[in-house]
Amino acid sequence: MPELPEAETIARGLAVVLPGKVIRGVTVIREDVVAGTTLQFGASLKGRRFREVGRRGKNVILVLDDGARVVVNLGMTGRFVPGAGPGPPPASTHPAVLFHLEGGGCVVYDDVRRFGRLQRLSRAEWTRWSRRLGPEPLSRSFTGRRLRAILSGSRSPVRSLLLDQRKIAGAGNIYAVEALWFARIHPRTPANEVGDEAAIRLHRALRRVLRAAVDAGGTTLRNYRAPDGKEGLFRRRLHAYGREGRPCFRCRTPIERIVFGGRSAFCCPRCQPC
């Protein structure tokens, strides 16, 4: 599932293409990826101009000239593919929504498994929606002290807390597992038992991992691609995620895979004792 680095990479790619462009029309091919009726969705966007493209958590945010937003949750396989013609370009194998642009061309929301979702929110709706998410882990306001306060308020396993978008927006399983490996914290550790020093290590590790992944264009394991079609290269730099049975880069102990909360986690049994 695309996480913060993948959503950031997609947003940056679209920021080169969309701002200033006017939506001539919208074609919804797969109705299940759009919130509300397709007629309402298309009518609310026709004639609007893209002002900017941003990100909130794991979501790509298309900002319109009237202050409304199109919030795009990428689900597991959502991506955007720009095209020069009126229809989906060849790179779009599973087109779901087409944004037709004045002057020619379109931008396609493409989604193999169709777990993604697009919804238009008014300015007020956007404010309420955004407030339900936790802080951005790469923001200046996300300090070690703030993370410690978040951790201290929960007995959930620390990996589970990192995945809770109401607590911290954007971190997903790949980067939570990587950050915990760097911080030498076992994924099952109750969040409120993570001490002050460990919380500082986790804060630094999470920010470092996310920044490095953004610089690498995200992590491509299967379907993820940036708008220009490039794969994310952070896969080559994974230290724990997906490395079951392979030696830990620190101590050479085989990495273990554990499952809880319905998700796999990976850790070193020696460097990250339970």
Confirm whether 139 is domain-assigned.
no
149/108 same-domain check: no
pLDDT at 19 over 80: yes
pLDDT, residue 224, reads 87
Band (234; pLDDT cuts 50, 70, 90):
very high
Confirm whether 160 is domain-assigned.
yes
Contact (CB, 8 A) for 182 and 205: yes
Q: Where are the alpha helices (DSSP H) in the chain?
A: 4-15, 38-45, 123-131, 144-152, 158-163, 173-183, 196-215
Compute the distance between CA of residue 2 and CA of residue 240 in angstroms, rounded to an integer. 18
Q: Check 117, 257, 263, 270 and give the catalytic one.
A: 263
Residue 202 belongs to domain spanning: 144-267
Q: Identify whether 2 is a catalytic site residue.
A: yes
Give mean pLDDT, residues 95-114: 96
pLDDT, residue 146, reads 97
Q: Identify whether 21 is a catalytic site residue.
A: no
**Number of domains present in the structure of the chain:** 2
Give mean pLDDT, residues 177-190: 98
Q: Identify whether 236 is a catalytic site residue.
A: no
Check residues 221 and 249 and name the one with the higher pLDDT: 249
170/121 same-domain check: no
Compute the distance between CA of residue 56 and CA of residue 70 in angstroms, rounded to an integer. 12
95/63 same-domain check: yes
Give mean pLDDT, residues 103-126: 96
pLDDT, residue 229, reads 87
Confirm whether 95 is domain-assigned.
yes
Q: Identify whether 46 is a catalytic site residue.
A: no
156/99 same-domain check: no
The whole-chain average pLDDT of the chain stands at 96
pLDDT at 193 over 90: yes
Q: Check 3, 6, 8, 178 and give the catalytic one.
A: 3
Give mean pLDDT, residues 5-31: 96
Q: Check 58, 69, 120, 159 and give the catalytic one.
A: 58
Phi, psi of 182, rounded to the nearest 5 degrees: -65, -35
pLDDT at 221 over 90: no
Band (228; pLDDT cuts 50, 70, 90):
confident
Q: In DSSP terms, which residues pair with 111 in a beta bridge?
A: 78
